[in-house]
Structures are given as C-alpha cells and as structure tokens.
C-alpha cells in the first residue's frame, strides 16, 4: 500500500506542490479472472493545491491491465490514462467536502488508483475490438479458425421425437 504524507509538503494557502510518486497496485479480480496492472509500481504525478477553504488533490498515471480476453481467453491488454481529482475541505461539513482517501494528512494513493482503475474499465476487456470469441459448439478460437457447424446436433433426449416426424 502506497501512502503519501501531505505534512511533508509544507505548503500554504495559494501554493501548489508537485511530486513524482510510485504507486503499488494490486491485481484486479474481475469476473473470476485476474488482471495485472503494469508497470507495478506505477509512476505517477501528484499535485496538491492548498486553498483557504481546503485542498485539491490531483493524480495522473498511465497503467496497462494484462489478463484474459472476455471472449476468447487470449491475452488482452487495456491501456488506461487516468487523470483524477479529489477535494478535502479544511472544515468539512458534508461528505461532498471530504475525500475517503485522506486520513490524518496521509493520502492512500493505492486505494485511490485502484478505485479509479475499476471505474475506468469498459464493459468487456477484449484482445481486439472485433474479437470473434470461442465457438459455442467445439470451443475453438474463432479468431484463428473461423468456421460454422453445418450439422445440427440434437439432444439425445429429444431423439425419439424427431423420429415421429
């Protein structure tokens, strides 16, 4: 888990600080499949701006997720370009004025990045946009060997009914 202590910045109202950080990322479990973030740790830039009413936190990072394609189970890689922003009021009066990633001036960068990655995911992670997937009859990869099954397979339990025709 990567955290950053905001007290080390020593900035006043109206000041901005930029820091290069390396964020440790855990694998993401999605639909029973594991997706590895790369690089790990991920290089990122943290920008902290103090205002009289609070602190604006911005995080920029680029990561790739490696794991199986949803359709054909071959290796897939998803590039994510994340630009994140959170706000913490000096005296928060509601949940809208505080960030869940900051506690006692320690910013949880790993949790923030993990949540942002999860929210940025598409409906399906594919090896390519036109992935044909696996054949539902024989299980072969339709990207490598496109084919159709011409004979209709009948369930043996219905075989006697087809003889009545």
Q: Which domain holds residue 75?
A: 3-130
Domain count, the chain: 1
4-47 confidence digits (pLDDT tens): 999 898 888 888 999 999 999 999 998 889 999 999 899 999 99
pLDDT in tens, 143-163: 999 988 876 666 778 777 777
Please give the C-alpha separations between residue 120 and each of 5, 81, 116, in angstroms, as whole numbers: 26, 9, 6
How confident is the model at residue 165, as a pLDDT? 66
The two beta strands, 106-108 and 102-103, are: antiparallel
Does residue 85 belong to any structural domain of this protein? Answer: yes
Q: Would you say residue 110 lies in a domain? A: yes
143 found inside a domain: no
- The pTM for the full model equals 0.80
79 assigned to some structural domain: yes
């Amino acid at each position: 888990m990567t955290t950053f202590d905001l007290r080390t910045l020593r900035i006043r109202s109206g000041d901005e600080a930029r820091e290069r950080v390396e964020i440790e990322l855990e694998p993401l479990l999605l639909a029973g499949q594991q997706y590895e973030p790369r690089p790990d740790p991920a290089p990122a830039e943290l920008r902290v701006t103090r205002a009289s009413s609070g602190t604006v936190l911005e995080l920029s990072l680029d990561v790739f997720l490696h794991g199986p394609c949803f359709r054909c189970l071959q290796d897939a890689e998803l590039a994510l370009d994340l630009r994140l922003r959170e706000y913490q009021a000096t005296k928060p009066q509601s949940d809208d004025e505080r960030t869940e990633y900051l506690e006692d001036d320690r910013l949880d960068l790993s949790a923030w990045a993990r949540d942002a990655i999860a929210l940025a995911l598409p409906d399906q992670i594919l090896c390519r946009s036109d992935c044909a997937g696996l054949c539902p009859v024989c299980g072969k990869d339709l990207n490598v060997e496109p084919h159709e099954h011409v004979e209709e397979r009948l369930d043996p339990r219905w075989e006697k009914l087809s003889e009545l025709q």
